[in-house]
Amino acid sequence: LQGNARYQKIRDLNKGAFGFVVLALDRQTGEQVALKFIERGPENITKYVEREIINHMKLRHPHIIALREVFLTPTHLVLSMEYAAGGDLFRFVASRRGLSEPEARWFFQQLIIAVDYCHRMGVTSRDIKMENALLDGSDRPLIKLADFGFSKDSNAHSAPTSRVGTPAYLAPEVVSNQPGRVYDGQKADIWSCGVLLYAMVTDCYPFSRIGDNFLKPNQKLNAMLQRILRADYTFPDGKQLSEKIRDLISRMLVLDPSLRCSLKDIMTHPWFLEGLNSGA
Ligand code: ADP
Ligand code: MG
Ligand code: MG
């Protein structure tokens, strides 16, 4: 961080789609922060970067990464954020080859509370996935939802129309959406939460497999999108999943957004409420 008196780089954390993220010391507060560097320039990313900042700034919640400060360097726009020392949920789930239902419930409850807060604040994430569900550094990690790079203001004048997000998590109405047509971003977020819940307990995605390279526009990707459009998934044979979790997932992965369950339905579902406060 040449020329910046406030922040001192500690180490690299990760590479994102539009830049990179480093761990740094904030000399003003003595705290560690995550700095997300987004390259300045290309006109096409500007709209999303503006929304990322404007929407993320509205959100102050224990289960959402706090955006502290935004500043410019000659080459980058930099977001200074609360540091999530536990990495992301994708790596956590992969390292354990899937979670037990109580472990998954612990994370899922926090995620749903965070998403409910976002929706109440008028923000849809449109990029809910395990890679964007970060974890704090405690022994029993807490969820810190991050990455509002595809987020959208959910008021009626700006309903989402574009197909953004990550293929494995895309809702069918987003996959099939025609340019300029409107879909309900909140319902699309609920679908993504269903994919995430499935992925936590099975260690694979409902419409594809972990490890598929989604960046290659290949047949695997097309086959996956076709399965999404039919809500064509099964539960793996090897996993002993309870009836309750199968029921909850099947209410979230519903093709018709108007028939898909709501966040309130999720929060009152028997699987969600089981062991509430008693822990994993
Ligand atoms: P992108 O929009 O490119 O996906 P993200 O904001 O998701 O960028 O950041 C990319 C990755 O960097 C995350 O998946 C995570 O591994 C890491 N990261 C981002 N923000 C933080 C943070 N606040 N604390 C710790 N790691 C972070
Ligand atoms: Mg991300
Ligand atoms: Mg992003």
* pLDDT the model gives residue 152: 85
Q: Is the CB of 80 under 6 A from ligand 1?
A: no
List b or e across 121-135, with b for residues whose CB sees 16 or more CB atoms inside 10 angstroms: eebbbbbbbbbbbbb
Q: Is the CB of 146 under 6 A from ligand 1?
A: yes
12 is catalytic: no
| 178-202: pLDDT as tens digits | 877 888 999 999 999 999 999 999 9
Rounded mean pLDDT, 222-242: 92
Q: Is the CB of 199 under 6 A from ligand 1?
A: no
Rounded mean pLDDT, 236-258: 95
Output the CA 234–ligand 1 centroid distance in Å: 31
ipTM: 0.98
Comparing 14-23, 89-98, 118-127, which segment has the lowest mean pLDDT?
14-23
Q: Which of 88, 127, 147, 184 is catalytic?
A: 127
In this predicted model, which residue has the larger pLDDT, 34 or 75?
34
Question: Which pair of structure tokens corresponds to residue 175?
Answer: 């996959």
| 43-98: pLDDT as tens digits | 656 778 888 999 999 999 999 999 999 999 988 999 999 999 999 999 999 999 99
Question: Which pair of structure tokens corresponds to residue 272?
Answer: 């969600």
Q: Is the CB of 45 under 6 A from ligand 1?
A: no
* pLDDT the model gives residue 221: 84
HEC sequence for 51-63: HHHHHHHCCCCCC
Rounded mean pLDDT, 259-269: 98
Rounded mean pLDDT, 264-280: 83
Q: For the chain, what is the mean pLDDT?
A: 89
Q: Report the residue among 11, 52, 147 best suited for mutation to probe ligand 1: largest number of ligand atoms under 8 A from its CB.
A: 147
* pLDDT the model gives residue 181: 83
**Among all chains, which residue has been given the structure tokens 């293929």?**
167
User: Distance (Å, rounded) from C-alpha 165 to C-alpha 151?
Assistant: 10
* pLDDT the model gives residue 18: 73
* pLDDT the model gives residue 5: 84
User: Distance (Å, rounded) from C-alpha 201 to C-alpha 34?
Assistant: 29
For the chain, the C-alpha Rg in angstroms (whole number) is 19
* pLDDT the model gives residue 3: 61
